[in-house]
Structure 1
């Protein structure tokens, strides 16, 4: 019984550590993106700046952009990806994936490379 309890506690502690280590998500909403954009403006967007800062501090990481469903979401994510590359982030380190979970925002995170 004691060994079974230790195993259970180990699983719980592992889950707690995994959730504590989960990458924070930064939301880039459509209202902020709706303005005319240039490199200087894109750099001032807090979610973008915070994500790039976190990326620069995380060796062996990548930036993940999760987008809303539909063609608009894909285009929005790809445009942001292009801006990040233009501003110096290697293209191989930026991934776009469906499923931001919101219709009005991109979800930005820094995650370990697979």
Structure 2
């Protein structure tokens, strides 16, 4: 019987945006957070600026897009090496567009029900 291997990944996300009043109001807290995993540098995160985030920090949309781009890169390199194709350079510039809804334009996230 073949042995099954499991890949496990653990991350910790810590919200650091409490300005003293918690989430008492939509504009009264920062979206800052830290993404951590053992053995890697911390990622400073926030929301997209549309949702009152900090443009100097990674937002979830950028992280999702970069994860897809990384998976594509690594899969491509694997296929190339198994097929004898020599790759000496690779750059992937990935644009992504999410539609803005009336709710998003008003400053409320469209992905959440408002429950924690």
Q: TM-score range by the shorter chain?
A: under 0.3
The structure with the larger Rg is 2
Structure with the larger helix share: 1
TM-score by length of 2: 0.23
| Structure in which a larger fraction of residues adopt strand | 1
